[in-house]
Amino acid sequence: MKLNPRQQNILRATVRHYVSTAEPVGSKSLAEGYDLQVSSATIRSVMSALESSGLLYQPHTSAGRIPSDSGYRTYVDELMTPSKPLTRKVKSALDLNLDWERQAIDGLLQESAQILSRLSGYIALVTLPHMEASLIKHLQLVRVGSGQILLVVLDIYNNHSILLRLPDETLHQQADEVIDRELQILSNFLTVQLKGRSLRDADLDWAELDQVFHRYVGALEAAIADLARKATTSPATQILVSGLAEALDQPEFAEREQIRQIVQLLEDGRDQLWPLISEPPPPIISIAGQPRLRIWIGAENPVEPMQTCALITSQYGTAPGPMGSLGVLGPTRMLYENAVAAVGAAANYLTEAVSGTFELDGQLTPEGSSAE
């Protein structure tokens, strides 16, 4: 149905009023609360036409009207403008709270999900960027006890650590400050040599290293080999979730069975959720001027527990580099202006941040500090 300007204004007002109150909307409420410049009788007539077109419906005969899935779809595609203030707020919060130099990416993305859920008011979903092998960012050797050195490897996804055990006399032959200095030099050297490679490809000239760092090389070579055997790429279907408790306070989730189904989906049904959150939008579709967004509303969701929900998703990252996905899940009575703005802002931020994180060459000086 092609809506004329009056029908657009009344549908827009109906959606906004219902999102705000969670109560069926009557013509009197719209006449009093919105500057529609028409009478209540005209509003009733237009709402009746919108109902006949399937954009509104009456939950009860004597009640006002509420938007249908098609009504929300028309609102999102034709009548909505994403919130610019929230776009700026999301970007500012991500910039302020995330440290891409010092944290592993799984922790950073979990924090991103928490920020996205807090600022949007809905359940946030974020997947890890997928690539065949996780690349090393930094290595550090730390003396932790008599004859014990901890090797910590920070890669794109996680922190890995393993304890090197050396004979007591190996370290007792030198003062603590000498050992600490040697470990720092060796840490810097290993970082420069292995940065941007995976643990499985951590080939070093151990014979040459042995000439300078002979007291550590045997245990270090065994430790790196052990870490390489244990290291696995993060599962492709891992989805980080935040904001479940807050979102389930929405009145749409008042029924215990509905809560149970949503929680079960998020905990055990991620194989069903994964195709929805990771599926790219059709290339010719642009939602609210943002081509990377995809929105599933109500019955458009193929997964039954989600058919009272709306899911807004976007990919982040740039092909052929690592790509991930993020989104928010909430009731169809969603404040789409905010949800779309939040997802779009987070996707744009993570695209830049992840691209920079995976471009590892030249990011550290030989001393192991950030390059200016």
Read off the CATH number of the domain in which 289 is found.
Answer: 3.30.450.40
Distance (Å, whole) CA 282 – CA 340: 17
Closest CA to 123 of 256, 247, 238, 275: 247
| Phi, psi (deg, nearest 5) at residue 65 | -115, 155
Residue type, 309: C
Domain end marker among 215, 230, 245: 230
Residue 371 lies in a domain: no
> How much is the average pLDDT of 221-243?
76
Higher pLDDT, 354 or 371: 354
Domain end marker among 210, 230, 250: 230
Structural domain containing residue 288: 84-131+235-358
Domain end marker among 230, 257, 281: 230
Q: Which run of H or of E encompasses 297? A: strand 293-297
Note whether 118 and 242 are same-domain residues.
yes
Residue 13 lies in a domain: yes
Residue 240 lies in a domain: yes
Note whether 244 and 117 are same-domain residues.
yes
Of 46-60, 155-169, 272-286, 324-338, the range with the lowest mean pLDDT is 272-286
Query: pLDDT tens digit string along 143-194?
Result: 887 778 899 988 766 678 888 887 766 666 677 888 889 999 999 999 998 8
Question: 317, 352 in Cβ contact below 8 A?
Answer: no
Note whether 57 and 96 are same-domain residues.
no
Residue 39 lies in a domain: yes
The model's pTM? 0.71
Residue 370 lies in a domain: no
Distance of CA 256 to CAs 246, 249, 260, Å?
A: 15, 12, 6
Note whether 287 and 143 are same-domain residues.
no
* Domain total of the chain: 3
So what's the pLDDT on residue 134?
Answer: 66
Note whether 267 and 181 are same-domain residues.
no
